[in-house]
């Protein structure tokens, strides 16, 4: 063996010594490779575990919290929802199409592994600014990859978010979320139980692709990373469609003990995690694994990240049934070993034992580190920036058009028109509104779902930024008429060895936890992605929240566009002078500084309750979360999507820029008919929240005090053409 064999597997000398302690001997190359991937951050969460424990994970709807392939929540009538978000940042930075495509494929597998039929995909994307050619290449490739995989497998991509900032120039973020639905009795887990039960690999054959992908994901991107392209897997959505149908058919038979996706760290992770959860061991024979290539070594077979494979443990005697089902779908199903009682992962090759290590030591006993944490120095400088020195714009129309034309605010039609967002005929609210809404066939119910995160906020204040991400996700869910149920989190950060990065991570988790507690939306699972750095530095700390909510009555699904002239426009909540971290500051003043908006979680909850109560009373014609871009952008968006204008008159002491562009939290704009104005006022009083009548829907211009007077068509052009015009350069 090499002089420092641990280095090539991404382990430290101390970790190598721990392995020797566990085994009572030196590990061989295959064993060391298995520890290398399982003890990588990507698989073991060794740097994040102690912090993730702070999340609230319990609630009366939660059927499965963190720890399985995906979380599960109860939605009544014997039905349940499984959902999770996962990152595929590094692969997408190197090979945008395949990186994003396999990200989608991986998270879809996590969902049907739980026994759920996937019904929707979402995503959360971050790129550098679009004036850079390489960024445009990454953006176009990622969107095409998500489309290529999702469209082919036939799962609608119904919602998401895209932001552009130089902080992500060298390290884009690609987080994919999937939501599935199932009956309670079909809930499956990744457990290898019952000594003597067969262990089978089903789906695609194993090749040399993606070896050490998990380790690659747990390192910073460098100039040489493009040479790691072979570590990026290649996806085959057609194969996965067959695997999905075959797996769900198999789960329905009740012949299964456990089933697990082979994602990161392939056979090594699926075997050790299933055995560890079941308190058992697994013995498997390399010779029996269907392979695509000749002469693969045990190391390569155990570490391959070939896509579209699953490990299943059927009840003894059901092997033939498994083979029959998979052969109907044209897929491999091969017995490769059996469940044992000794707790070991034992790998045989041509009759010889080539690896023998305790399953638990791989899956659960990775070292856990309490990393050093320190408040970054930059915070004082950016937070204390004196915004009062800023000069008010001379032409607010111009400022609004500039903000509407910012790719962060502008229409994302260029993106979502490439996604099939209607297949499965459930999509009630199309992309572009606050949250996607899907009906649940055969019931009156519906599901609302969204992804939310604001990296700039978290850069300026990770704790409050984390809390705001949850609050905003919940507000989006509420605006669509649903009650928020639970979240999944995608935590994207830089190198955790840097105490300042680790501080950002800790604080973000604290903020998310506070908001989840206050809004009663527990965390059911998620993903941590560290090492999001390029030679230009770390990304903005970017926690992304994926949230799911339930509509008791699908007919109450609400959209953000104005409906009819003369409807009254109402603001629930209050606008304050809070321009710190706003899109306006970035676009008009080229500044990413200041104190981000306050978040009063008590008020937030009351505003949401008021809105939901009004929607349930059937009196709300439109509802729109007021956040990025502020009140002016909120109103403009409701105008643009309806083609209707609005006349707004607000009495205020706020400076005009703050009135229009402040991103104060806990605000929702709703419209109602004149007759229902009093009812909403009453509700607002009951919940003791600020209430302002802003004006009414009318004409084809947006008029706000004497500040804004713009044709809806003109705003629409700026908003609609922003991204396409940049991409056609």
Partner 1 sequence: MKFAVITFPGSNCDRDVYHVTKEVLEQPTDMIWYNDKLDLSSYDCVILPGGFSYGDYLRAGAIARFSPLMESVTGYAKDGGLVLGICNGFQILLEAGLLPGAMKVNDSLKFVCKYTKLKVINAGTPFTNRYSKGEILNIPVAHREGNYYIDDEGLAELIANNQIVVKYLDDEENPNGSVVNIAGICNKEGNVFGLMPHPERCAESILGDGSKDGYELFASILDYVNKRGEKCG
Residues engaged in binding partner 1 (CB under 8 A): 144, 147-148, 151-154, 236-239, 241-242, 328-330, 416-428, 430, 439, 441, 554-555
Name the strand (E) or helix (H) holding 235: none
Options 88, 421, 624, 687, the catalytic residue: 88
CB 337 within 8 A of CB 287: no
* Closest to 669 in 3D by CA, of 618, 723, 599, 621: 621
> In whole angstroms, how close is the CB of 431 to partner 1 at the nearest point?
9
Q: Is residue 88 among the annotated active site residues?
A: yes
DSSP string, 26-63: ---HHHHHHHHHHTSHHHH-TTTHHHHTTS----TTEE
- Which pair of tokens denotes residue 435? 């949250």
Angle at 346 between CA 342 and CA 347, to 5 degrees: 165
Mapped to the 3 state alphabet, what secondary structure does 118-143 carry?
EEEEEEEEEECCCCCHHHHHHHHHHH
| Choice between 288 and 424, CB closer to partner 1 | 424
Place of tokens 């290898």: 192
> What is each CA distance from 690 to 51, 266, 597, 610, in whole angstroms?
36, 54, 17, 11
Give 515-579 as a DSSP string.
HHHHHT--EEEEEEE---EETTEEPPPEEEEEEEEEES-GGG---SS--STTPEEEEES---S--
Contacts of residue 595, defined as CB under 8 A and 6 or more positions apart, other chains included, come to 383, 460, 461, 578, 580, 581
Minimum separation from the CB atom of position 327 to partner 1 (A): 12
CA dist 126 and 139 (Å) reads 9
CB of 592 to partner 1, least distance (A): 32
Supply the DSSP symbol for 595.
P
Taking phi over 0 as left and psi of -120 to 50 as alpha, with beta for the rest, 343 belongs to: left
Least distance (Å) from partner 1 to the CB of residue 151?
Answer: 6
The residue among 215 and 426 lying less far from partner 1, judged by its C-beta, is 426
Q: Which two tokens stand for residue 247?
A: 């797996």
Pairing state between β 256-261 and 198-203: unpaired
How far the first Cα of the chain sits from its last, in Å, is 53
Distance in Å, CB of 107 to partner 1, minimum: 18
DSSP conformation letters of 65-120: -BTBSSEEEE-STTEEEEEEEEE-HHHHHHSHHHHHHHHHHHHHHHHHHTTPEEEE
Q: Given the complex with partner 1, which of 291 and 421 has the nearer CB atom?
A: 421
In whole angstroms, the minimum distance from the beta carbon of 424 to partner 1 comes to 6
Q: How far is the CB of 150 from partner 1 (least distance, A)?
A: 10
Q: Which is nearer to partner 1, 422 or 497 (CB)?
A: 422
Least distance (Å) between residue 570 CB and partner 1 = 25
Compare residues 551 and 694 and give the one whose CB is closer to partner 1: 551
| Residue 557 Cβ vs partner 1, minimum distance, rounded to whole Å | 8
For 123, the token pair is 């995503």
User: What positions carry a catalytic annotation?
Assistant: 42, 88
């Amino acid at each position: 063996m090499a002089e420092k064999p641990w280095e090539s597997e991404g382990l430290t000398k101390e970790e190598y010594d721990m392995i020797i302690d566990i085994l009572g001997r030196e590990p061989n190359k295959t064993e060391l490779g298995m520890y290398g991937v399982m003890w990588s951050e990507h698989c073991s969460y060794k740097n994040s575990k102690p912090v993730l424990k702070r999340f609230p994970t319990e609630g009366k709807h939660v059927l499965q919290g963190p720890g399985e392939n995906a979380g599960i929540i109860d939605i009544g009538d014997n039905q349940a929802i499984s959902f999770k978000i996962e990152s595929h940042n590094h692969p997408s930075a190197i090979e945008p199409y395949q990186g994003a495509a396999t990200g989608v494929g991986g998270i879809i597998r996590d969902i049907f592994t739980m026994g759920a039929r996937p019904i929707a995909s979402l995503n959360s994307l971050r790129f550098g600014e679009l004036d850079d050619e390489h960024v445009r290449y990454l953006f176009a490739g990622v969107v095409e990859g998500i489309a290529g995989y999702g469209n082919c497998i036939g799962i609608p991509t119904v919602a998401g978010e895209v932001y552009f900032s130089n902080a992500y120039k060298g390290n884009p973020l690609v987080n994919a979320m999937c939501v599935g639905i199932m009956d309670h009795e079909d809930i499956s887990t990744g457990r290898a139980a019952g000594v003597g039960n067969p262990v089978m690999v089903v789906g695609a054959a194993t090749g040399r692709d993606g070896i050490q992908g998990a380790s690659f994901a747990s390192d910073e991107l460098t100039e040489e990373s493009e040479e790691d392209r072979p570590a990026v897997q290649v996806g085959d959505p057609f194969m996965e469609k067959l695997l999905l149908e075959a797996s769900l058919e198999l789960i329905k038979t009740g012949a299964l003990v456990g089933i697990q996706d082979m994602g990161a760290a392939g056979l090594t992770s699926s075997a050790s995690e299933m055995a560890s959860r079941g308190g058992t061991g697994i013995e498997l024979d390399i010779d029996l694994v269907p392979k695509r290539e000749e002469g693969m070594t045990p190391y390569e077979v155990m570490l391959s990240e070939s896509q579209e494979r699953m490990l299943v443990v059927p009840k003894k005697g059901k092997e033939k049934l498994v083979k029959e089902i998979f052969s109907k779908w044209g897929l491999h199903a091969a017995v490769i070993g059996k469940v044992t009682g000794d707790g070991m992962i034992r790998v045989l090759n041509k009759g010889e034992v080539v690896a023998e290590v305790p399953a638990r030591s791989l899956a659960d006993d990775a070292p856990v580190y309490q990393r050093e944490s320190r408040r970054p120095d930059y915070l004082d400088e950016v937070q204390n920036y004196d915004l009062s020195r800023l000069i008010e714009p001379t032409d607010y129309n111009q400022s609004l058009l500039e903000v509407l034309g910012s790719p962060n605010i502008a229409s994302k039609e260029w993106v979502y028109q490439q996604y099939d967002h209607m297949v499965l005929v459930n999509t009630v609210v199309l992309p572009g509104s606050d949250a996607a809404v899907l009906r649940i066939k055969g019931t009156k119910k519906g599901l609302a779902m969204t992804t939310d995160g604001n990296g700039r906020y978290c850069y300026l204040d990770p704790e409050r930024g984390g809390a705001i991400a949850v609050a905003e996700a919940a507000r989006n869910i509420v605006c669509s008429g649903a009650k928020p149920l639970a979240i999944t989190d995608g935590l994207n950060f830089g190198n955790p060895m840097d105490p300042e990065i680790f501080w950002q991570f800790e604080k973000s988790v604290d903020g998310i936890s506070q908001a989840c507690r206050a809004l009663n939306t527990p965390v059911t699972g998620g993903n941590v992605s560290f090492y999001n750095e390029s030679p230009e530095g770390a990304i903005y700390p970017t926690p992304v929240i994926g949230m799911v909510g339930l509509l008791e009555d699908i007919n109450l699904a609400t959209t953000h566009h104005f409906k009819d002239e003369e409807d009254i426009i109402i603001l629930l909540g209050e606008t304050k002078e809070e321009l710190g971290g706003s899109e306006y500051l970035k676009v008009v003043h080229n500044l990413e500084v200041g104190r981000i908006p306050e978040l009063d979680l008590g008020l937030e909850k009351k505003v949401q309750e008021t809105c939901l109560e009004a929607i349930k009373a059937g009196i709300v014609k439109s509802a729109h979360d007021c956040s990025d871009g502020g009140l002016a952008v909120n109103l403009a968006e409701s105008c643009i999507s309806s083609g209707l204008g609005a006349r707004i008159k607000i009495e205020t002491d706020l400076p005009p820029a703050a009135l229009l562009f402040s991103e104060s939290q806990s605000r929702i704009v709703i419209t109602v008919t004149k007759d229902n104005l009093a009812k909403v006022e009453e509700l607002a009083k009951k919940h003791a929240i600020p209430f302002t009548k802003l004006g009414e829907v009318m004409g084809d211009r947006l008029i706000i005090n004497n500040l804004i007077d713009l044709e809806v068509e003109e705003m629409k052009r700026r908003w609609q053409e922003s991204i396409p015009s940049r991409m056609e350069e």
